[in-house]
Amino acid sequence: MLPVLPPGVRGQLPWFLAWVAVGAGAALAVTALGIFAVPLALLGAVLLIVFHHADRSAFGVFAGVGLLFLYVAYVQRYGPGTVYWHTARASGSEQYLDPRPWLAAGIMLVAVGVGAFLWRRRGAGGDGGTLRRP
């Protein structure tokens, strides 16, 4: 299925993606959706820690936050400044932020999350990157 992934990563990938979802939910905490996202993100984090210890897949939190930043950059892609639009029946203007800081932060966070997930295996002494104490 995923032949380009190193051995040991394939088994951790579903857990990494679960942590990505927790990170995205935690990032939504600073938005108007925070009242709904925070309890779900906390529940997800607690369930992941209880049923699957916090190993290298927990770096997915960074990637999840980065995905929200990339989404903001995409929404603001016409910025910075005011953009005027018109159709056959309506016209208007919209203010957009500069998407470049959001894009840079999103790319950096996703790269850190994925990179640490993949790199942690080498630095962990072959135990798969567990963060548990001996």
The reported pLDDT for the residue numbered 70 is 96
Q: CA-to-CA distance for 47 and 62, rounded, in angstroms? A: 18
Q: What is the pLDDT along the chain (134 residues), one digit of tens a residue?
A: 545 666 666 778 888 888 898 888 888 888 777 777 778 888 888 888 887 777 888 888 999 999 999 999 999 999 898 888 889 999 999 999 999 999 999 999 999 999 988 886 655 554 554 544 44
User: The whole model's pTM is what?
Assistant: 0.75
The reported pLDDT for the residue numbered 72 is 93
Cβ neighbourhood burial of 123 (10 Å; 0-12, 13-18, 19+): exposed
- For the chain, the structural domain boundaries read 9-123
The reported pLDDT for the residue numbered 6 is 62
